A = this chain, B = another copy of it.
């Protein structure tokens, strides 16, 4: 671990491959990490316990679970991740071949998948910003990347830059001048294979992570939703076996 830096940072941690690697990167860079996970009514709640295991394995002392309700019952929703809408399986327009196997970031066909949760990353980053103000951090880490973009607008570089700009106008430090927020998206331009290799090099135990949008009651991944397919293609690309269990392959 690199001890050059002992500044606090807030890291968004979903419990998936990307956020686990992002947290490991922040720890490796020497930040004192505060992890933030959202219990937002997602159907794949296994990711919350995965996030706890990942945070514990990486020695994170302050891990907060923030409870919000983004389901249809609360007036939000309209997503297969939060409501009784089927999670798409074997989606044709998920262009795995191009974006992953050729190592060329670029996402998919421009459609918005039904798994999109309205303004989710904006809500998550807003809470991360509030949390940063409380713990005195100016560095926020988020594990977005263009491959995992898969049609989500709030995973793009220009979006992250716009949030950083907002953060520096929104907060007490904008008035007091005591610091400048930086939104770190270290995975932004990495392929899933590169992310997995990076995580492994930093000691991430991917058996603790969870990606599937539609797991079996025992937590086994479906292997067919976008999240599973991007994950599996990433492990194939990295040349290592995915250590989690799948229901059907």
User: What is the minimal beta-carbon distance from A10 to any residue of chain B, in angstroms?
Assistant: 10
Which A217-243 residues have a C-beta within 8 angstroms of B?
A: none
Check A119–B112 contact: CB distance below 8 A: no
Taking CB as reference atom, which chain B residue is nearest A176? B112
- The CA of A70 and the CA of B123, in the complex, are separated in Å by 13
Taking CB as reference atom, which chain B residue is nearest A177? B110
- The CA of A153 and the CA of B181, in the complex, are separated in Å by 14
Residues of B within 8 A of A75 (CB): 62, 64, 66, 131, 134
User: What is the minimal beta-carbon distance from A157 to any residue of chain B, in angstroms?
Assistant: 10
Residues of B within 8 A of A111 (CB): 175
Which of B62, B69, B76 lies in contact with A134, CB distance below 8 A? B76
Q: A67-B69, A76-B134, A153-B175 are in contact. Are A166 and B129 (CB under 8 A)?
A: no
Q: A68-B68, A169-B153, A172-B112 are in contact. Are A119 and B129 (CB under 8 A)?
A: yes
Number of copies: 2
- The CA of A116 and the CA of B116, in the complex, are separated in Å by 32
Q: A119-B133, A126-B123 are in contact. Are A172 and B153 (CB under 8 A)?
A: yes
Check A126–B130 contact: CB distance below 8 A: no
Residues of B within 8 A of A176 (CB): 112
Q: Can you list, as one digit per residue, whether each of A37-71 has a CB less than 8 Å from chain B (1) or not (0)?
A: 00000000000000000000000001010111110
- The CA of A119 and the CA of B133, in the complex, are separated in Å by 8
7 A-B pairs (CB sep. < 8 Å): A68-B68, A70-B130, A75-B131, A120-B130, A122-B170, A159-B174, A162-B166
4 nearest A-B residue pairs (beta carbon): A118-B133, A119-B130, A118-B130, A64-B75
